Amino acid sequence: MTQALAAVDARPDRAPSSPPPARKPKLEIRALTVSYLGGPPVVRGVSLTVPSNSIYAFIGPAGSGKTSILRTVNLLSIDLDGARVEGDVRLDGMDLLAPGVDRARIRRKVPMVFATPQPLPRSIYENLAFGPRLAGVKDRARLDELVEKSLTAAQLWDEVKDRLRHSALTLSGGQQQRLCIARAIALEPEVVLLDEPCSGLDPISTLKIEEAMHSLQDRYTWVIVTNNTKQAARVSERTAFFLMGELVEDGPTDRLFTAPRDARTGDYIEGRFG
Amino acid sequence: MTSRRRRIDPRTAQLAADFVLWAGTAVTLAVLVFIIGFVLRRGLPYVDWAFLTEAPRESGKAGGIFPMIVGTLEVTALAVLLATPLGLGTAIFLAEYTRGGPLMRVIHFGTESLAGVPSIIFGLFGFVFFVITLGFGWSVLSGGLTLAFMILPTVIRTSEEAIKAVPASYREVALSLGASKWESVVKVVLPSAIPGIVTGIILSVGRAMEETAVVIFTAGSSLSQAAPRSLFDGTRTLAVHVYLLAREGISTEKAFATASVLILAILVINSTAYTIMNRFIRRYR
C-alpha cells in the first residue's frame, strides 16, 4: 500500500484510482491465437485494447508471443512466416484479418520497426521516400517535405540534413534505427509497431528514440515490444505482460509496476524469474 | 612408449598452404594468359580494318569476316534476349514464389539436366525441331532459339542464387512499408541481385558466342558474301568459321585472326557489361 502511494506521489499527474482518460480505442485485439505450421499456438487467446495516442508496451520473457502479436497486427506473420491466425484484430474498428483486405494498405497504417536496424541499400533520402512513393506520392516537393518532417520527428534531421544523398548504410547503428523510425513515420501511419527497437543501441540513442516517441504521441499510437522492463516503465502509459503466449495482465504502467495483480508479473518485473 | 602422431607446426602448415594456393592461382593465370597470348600473337598481325569489314573470298582464304561478325552478334543477341526474360522469370518464381515444394524440385532437376546435356544434342534437337519440323531452315532464328535453350539453365541458376542471396530482411522491410510482394521483388530484391544476374548473362553470352556444334546444325555454315538480312537467313558464326578454316586446312592465319577477333569481342562485351553494371549499382551503395 505504501509502495503504491509512493508511486502516486512520484507521478502526481496520474492517480490510479481515477479511470484512465477516455480515449477511443485505436487497436483492438480479441481472442487472438497464432500458430505456425501446425505447431502449438505461440499466442493463445490474447485480448487487449490500445487506446489512441498512447504508448503501449509489451513485456515478457523470450517466447512469450510478443513479437508474433506485433507481426500479426502488421500481417507479416501471415505473409512471410506462414502463420495461422484466429481471432480479431481491429484498427479504428476495421477488421484487419478479414479476407480480401488490401494488406499493403494496412501495413502503411501500421508500419513496423525491427529489432536490428534495417536500412535499405540506398540513400538516406530514398529510404525515407520508399514508402510514400509506393503509396503514390510522386510530387517532388511533397516528398522533400515528408522526408524533412519525418527525419525531424525522429530526431535525426540535424545529423543527416547535409548528406541525404549518402548511403543509409554509412550511418551508425543508432542513427540507422532512427532512420527506420523516420521511414515508418513518413507513411503518415496510425500506429507504429516497434519490435525491441533499442535492443542493440547505446543509452543515448535509446534516449533519443524514447524522446521521439513521447514528442510524437499526440500524432501517433505506439506499441513497443521490449525486453527491458525499465524502458517499459519509462516510456509507456500502459503495459501488457505476456508469458508463454498468454496475456497475464495489462493495465496502466504505474499500477502494473507498483501493484501487479498477478504474482508472476511481480516476479518478472523484479527479475525473480526462470 | 605410446606413439603419438607427430603434429605439423601450424606455422609450417600455414606457409605450405600459402604456397600451394598461391602457386595454383599463378599456374591457372599463366595457362590462361599463355593461351590467349598464343592465339593473339598468331592471329592479331592479320587483323586489320579490311579483315573486319570485308566479305570472305576463296572460301575464306582471302578477304575478311564481316558477315560472320554480324551473324555471330545476331545469333548471340537473339539467344540472350530470349533466354534472359525466360530465365529471370523462372528464377524469380523459384526463389520467391515456391517454398521448396515438389514443383521446385522438379524444375531444379529439369534445369540441372538441361545444363548437363552436351551441346551437340541441343544442336541435333534444334536441327530436327526448328530447322526441319517448324521449317525455319538453317537460320539466325533457329540458331538463336536453340542457343537460348542451351544457355537457359545457366541464366536460371545464377539468377536464382543471386536472388536468394539478397537478405530476407530487405523483403520484410519492403513489405512492412506497404510494398506488395511484386513491388518488393522489383524495387528491392532485383536491384540488389543485379550483379549476380548480370554475371550469369555474361557467362551465357560467352557460351553462345563460342558455341560451334549447336550453330553448325541450326544456323548452317554457308559462306555467304553478305551479312544475314533477316532472321530466316542462314549464317556462319565466328566460332564455326574458325573451326572450318582450320579443319579444311584453308588458312591457318585466317583461323587465328578470326579467333583473335572472337576473343577480343568477348572481352569487350564482358568489360562493357561490368562497367555499365557498376555504374548502375553504385547508386544503391
- Chain A CB contacts of B170 under 8 Å are 118, 120-121
Tens of pLDDT, residue by residue over A147-177, are 999 999 998 999 999 999 999 999 998 999 9
Residue A252: pLDDT above 80?
yes
Tens of pLDDT, residue by residue over A8-61, are 334 444 444 444 556 788 999 999 999 998 789 999 999 999 999 999 999 998
Share of chain B above pLDDT 70, in %: 96
- Chain B CB contacts of A114 under 8 Å are 169, 172-173, 176
- Chain B CB contacts of A102 under 8 Å are none
Contact B284 A121 (CB under 8 A): yes
Closest residue, chain A, to B169 (C-alpha): A118
Interface of A with B in 62-101 (CB under 8 A): 74, 76, 79-80, 82
Closest residue, chain B, to A135 (C-alpha): B178
Count CB atoms within 10 A of the CB of residue B110: 13
**Dist CA B100 CA B118 (whole Å):** 28
User: Quick one: average pLDDT of B10-38?
Assistant: 94
Residue B221: pLDDT above 70?
yes
Grouping H, G, I as helix, E, B as strand and the rest as coil, residue A149 is helix
Q: Cα–Cα–Cα angle for A41, A45, A49, nearest 5°? A: 130
Q: Which fold, B49-282?
A: MetI-like fold (1.10.3720)
Q: Are B53 and B66 in contact (CB under 8 A)?
A: yes
Grouping H, G, I as helix, E, B as strand and the rest as coil, residue A220 is coil
Q: Spell out the domain ranges in chain B.
A: 10-46, 49-282
Is B165 touching A (CB cutoff 8 A)?
no
Contact B177 A108 (CB under 8 A): yes
Is A120 touching B (CB cutoff 8 A)?
yes
The model's confidence at residue B4, banded by pLDDT at 50, 70 and 90, is: low
| Kind plus residue range of the DSSP H or E element containing A160 | helix A157-160
The model's confidence at residue B259, banded by pLDDT at 50, 70 and 90, is: very high
Contact B177 A169 (CB under 8 A): no
Give pLDDT, residue B273. Answer: 85
Give pLDDT, residue A16. Answer: 44
CB-CB: which of A82, A134, A167 is closest to B178? A134
User: Quick one: average pLDDT of B192-219?
Assistant: 90
CB-CB: which of A80, A111, A122 is closest to B177? A111
**Dist CA A154 CA A210 (whole Å):** 10
Report the complex ipTM. 0.84
What is the pTM assigned to this prediction? 0.81
Give pLDDT, residue A2. Answer: 41
H-type helices in B101-212, by residue range?
102-116, 119-126, 140-164, 168-176, 181-184, 190-210
Residue A7: pLDDT above 50?
no
Is A215 touching B (CB cutoff 8 A)?
no
Give pLDDT, residue B62. Answer: 86
The model's confidence at residue A184, banded by pLDDT at 50, 70 and 90, is: very high
Give pLDDT, residue A8. Answer: 37
User: Quick one: average pLDDT of A65-93?
Assistant: 90
Give pLDDT, residue B121. Answer: 94
User: Quick one: average pLDDT of B74-93?
Assistant: 94
Interface of A with B in 14-43 (CB under 8 A): none
Terminal CA-to-CA distance of chain A, rounded, Å? 27
Mutate to test the interface with B, among A80, A101, A170 (most CBs of B within 10 A): A80
Is A122 touching B (CB cutoff 8 A)?
yes
The model's confidence at residue A273, banded by pLDDT at 50, 70 and 90, is: low
Contact B170 A120 (CB under 8 A): yes
User: Quick one: average pLDDT of B193-211?
Assistant: 90
Give pLDDT, residue B220. Answer: 85
Beta bridge partners of A252: A238
Averaged confidence pLDDT in chain A: 87
Mutate to test the interface with A, among B98, B170, B177, B192 (most CBs of A within 10 A): B177
Tens of pLDDT, residue by residue over A214-247, are 999 889 999 999 988 889 888 999 999 999 999 9
CB-CB: which of B179, B187, B285 is closest to A104? B179
Burial B253-274 (b: 16+ CB within 10 A, else e): ebbbbbbbbbbbbbeebeeeee
